Amino acid sequence: MSTERKWDDSIVRYPDPAIEVLDPRFGKYKIGNSVVERLWSGSRWAEGPVWFGDGGYLLWSDIPNNRILKWEESTGEVSVYRKPSNYSNGHARDRQGRLISCEHGTRRVTRTEYDGTVTVLMDNFDGKPLNAPNDVAVHPDGHIWFTDPGYGIMLNYEGHIAEFELPTCVYRLDPDTGAATVVIDELEKPNGICFSPDYEKLYVVDTGVTHKEGTPRHLFVYDVIDGERLGKQEVFCDMAPGIADGIRCDVDGNLWASAGWIGDGYDGVHVFAPDGTRIGQIHLPEICANLCFGGVKRNRLFMAGSQSLYSVYVEAQGVPIS
């Protein structure tokens, strides 16, 4: 089936050619009368979507514009949730439903309390400022795992230029005590991060690889040991010729990876079975930077597509916060 689609058309004939089945295992997740919808456009680099089911809205970052945006499910309206956002990038919710944010501009991880005040959870390690936290995942025990590749100090466009004072690492943070440990230090630019639905595996994207033709662009997986440390690094899949960015797992253990920097036929979302086989793709007309599941039944995939926000209903469900 052709994956070509005219994105300026208001009506899309079913089934949507932008949703491609590459392996029979993906077939059950594709809904014949569901299409990819562009919900909004107008950002410079959309990132970090996070769903608030109790409020019926989605938050996501527009990093260069230094703001967090809010999309209301009931009305489709988009408003500014926070500006300035300190060039926030990735977001998650903790076990109490509070917003956890990675801020480029202030080089810190924060928590937004119920009353709207912001608590700084971590902004340094061993007395040195973090590089620029990027993406985040929360373990059921409450610990916050986040990546710190430093993109926010490499350009003024997404933060403030500064010197790297720490290696690029993945941290495990106790938000109650502020104690943090390095759990990964071998990646050049650790970026997207998520747990498997049973929290026994951790997936991490490395976006630091060169763009030289033929270079592997790996997405890695680690065994989580006692909820505290990781086993040896293993390659989960190779995203070449492009790269992955944000990632999420569904309840069946499939990994959904935002992807881009190649163009038609590649940019969008790539879906992998638990064994690392690419089983499906959702094609977008622009780079996809990050994604999350939401909606009343957690079966609506939201995609932050660089300048736009997209969604599509699938028969997969995101992992609940519990």
Which residues make up each annotated binding site for a divalent metal cation? 47, 191, 245
First to last CA, the chain: 39
DSSP 318: B
The token pair at 216 is 């592997």
In contact, 60 and 92? CB cutoff 8 Å: no
- CA 174 to CA 176: how far, in whole Å? 5
Tell me, what amino acid is at 254?
A: N
- CA 320 to CA 297: how far, in whole Å? 10
In contact, 286 and 62? CB cutoff 8 Å: no
SS3 content of the chain, % helix, strand, coil (to 5): 5, 45, 50
The annotation places the binding site at 47, 134, 158, 191, 245
- CA 182 to CA 229: how far, in whole Å? 9
- CA 20 to CA 36: how far, in whole Å? 12
The annotation places the binding site for substrate at 134, 158
Does residue 62 have an active-site annotation?
no
In Å, how far are 203, 232, 247, 259 from 200, measured between CA atoms? 10, 13, 16, 24
* Catalytic position from the list 16, 94, 245, 267: 245
Q: Return the active site residues.
A: 245
